[in-house]
């Protein structure tokens, strides 16, 4: 079935028509291929981000560009570390170049409003570098400069929702890898991909406030989770999803109009 908000499902004539009619915002989801504990899928960051982007696009008459499905390496105290099977990372420079090229190409086609949706913790500054390089190239090439928003969706959650989702206390986003938030989102959006019987029950993993290399044989997380995902629920997932989608629509309406 055709996904009417997916840029890759349109043909060039349809895209051209949309561009000329209302120059729709284009959302670019960025994720990772990285272990997300014994209970949830390796493509978690990309999947959750794309599904949020698609719902926003349906509500805002926007389009979603194909995701960047790979991300940058973690260390044990962020995503568990690059030594886990399945964690397949690209270099920071590679990510920056991908982001730069995609934004420059969208601008070449005349896209005026771009939302870069970045979730994977370790991508952040490489994504910013890519956007910055794109804006310089776009200027040098004489294309019309687009407005680019860069958003990490979890930063849109209110304190009230965070308190409801984390009744035992919020451990901070770095420790939320494969924890309550993404597990809840999966229970709401892709329940077939979660096996809660495999969810570990350890609390937040404790780390010293620095990194040591090589780290593969150092204490870290054995499960791949940095916090227990057991208090995740489909209800929390719906709460998170609804607020993130609503807030993202508000941000887009406010910044682009």
Which residues does 64 contact at the CB level (< 8 Å), separation at least 6? 5, 6, 7, 26, 27, 28, 29, 50, 53, 54, 57
In whole angstroms, the minimum distance from the beta carbon of 133 to Mn ion comes to: 23
Residue length, the chain?
257
Distance of alpha carbon 103 from alpha carbon 113, whole angstroms: 10
Shortest distance (Å) from residue 113 CB to Mn ion? 26
Q: Among positive and negative, which fits the CA dihedral 116, 117, 123, 124?
A: positive
d(CA 119, CA 108): 26
Q: Which residue is nearest to Mn ion (CB)?
A: 120
Complex with Mn ion: residue 79 or 130, whichever CB lies closer: 79
Closer by beta carbon to Mn ion, 112 or else 171: 171
Contact with Mn ion (CB under 5 A) among 45, 46, 55, 118? 45
Only one of the segments 57-65, 74-82, 130-138, 196-204 lies at the binding site for Mn ion (rule: CB under 5 A); that segment is: 74-82
Of 40 and 243, the one with the shorter C-beta distance to Mn ion is 40
3-state class of 147 per DSSP?
strand
Q: Give the residue with the Cβ less far from Mn ion, 25 or 71.
A: 71
Alpha-carbon Rg for the chain, nearest whole angstrom, is 19
In terms of CB distance, is 133 or 174 closer to Mn ion? 174
Specify whether the CB–CB gap between 229 and 37 falls below 8 A: yes
Where in 104-133 is the site for Mn ion (CB under 5 A)?
Answer: 120
Contact code string over 76-95 relative to Mn ion, x by CB under 5 A = ---x----------------
Q: Are the beta carbons of 164 and 131 closer than 8 angstroms?
A: no
* Of 25, 175, 31, 181, residue with least CA distance to 117: 31
CB 121, min distance to Mn ion, A: 5
Edge-first strand order for the sheet with 63-64 is 63-64, 26-30, 113-118, 147-151
Contact pattern from residue 8 through residue 37 relative to Mn ion, giving x for each residue in contact according to CB under 5 A and a dash for the rest: ------------------------x-----
- Binding region for Mn ion (CB under 5 A) out of 75-83, 136-144, 206-214, 216-224: 75-83
Q: Between 75 and 133, whose beta carbon lies closer to Mn ion?
A: 75
Residues near Mn ion (CB under 5 A) are 32, 45, 79, 120
């Amino acid at each position: 079935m055709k996904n009417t908000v997916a840029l890759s499902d349109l043909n060039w004539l349809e895209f051209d028509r949309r561009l000329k009619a209302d120059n729709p915002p284009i959302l670019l989801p960025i994720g990772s291929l990285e272990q997300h504990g014994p209970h949830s899928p390796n493509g978690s960051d990309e999947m959750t981000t794309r599904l949020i982007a698609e719902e926003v696009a349906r509500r805002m008459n926007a389009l979603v560009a194909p995701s960047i499905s790979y991300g940058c390496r973690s260390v044990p105290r962020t995503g568990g570390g690059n030594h886990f099977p399945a964690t397949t990372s690209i270099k920071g420079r590679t990510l920056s170049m991908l982001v730069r090229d995609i934004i420059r190409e969208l601008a070449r086609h005349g896209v005026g409003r771009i939302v870069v949706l970045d979730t994977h913790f370790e991508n952040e500054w490489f994504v910013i570098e890519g956007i910055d390089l794109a804006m310089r190239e776009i200027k040098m090439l004489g294309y019309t400069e687009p407005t680019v928003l860069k958003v990490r969706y979890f930063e849109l959650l209110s304190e009230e929702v965070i308190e409801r989702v984390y009744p035992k206390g919020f451990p901070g986003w770095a420790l939320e890898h494969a924890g309550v938030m993404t597990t809840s989102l999966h229970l709401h959006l892709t329940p077939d991909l979660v096996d809660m019987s495999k969810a570990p029950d350890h609390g937040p993993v404790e780390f010293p406030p620095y990194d040591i290399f090589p780290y593969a044989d150092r204490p870290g997380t054995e499960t791949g989770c940095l916090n227990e995902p057991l208090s995740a629920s489909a209800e929390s997932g719906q709460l998170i999803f609804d607020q993130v989608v609503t807030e993202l629509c508000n941000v887009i309406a406010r910044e682009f109009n």
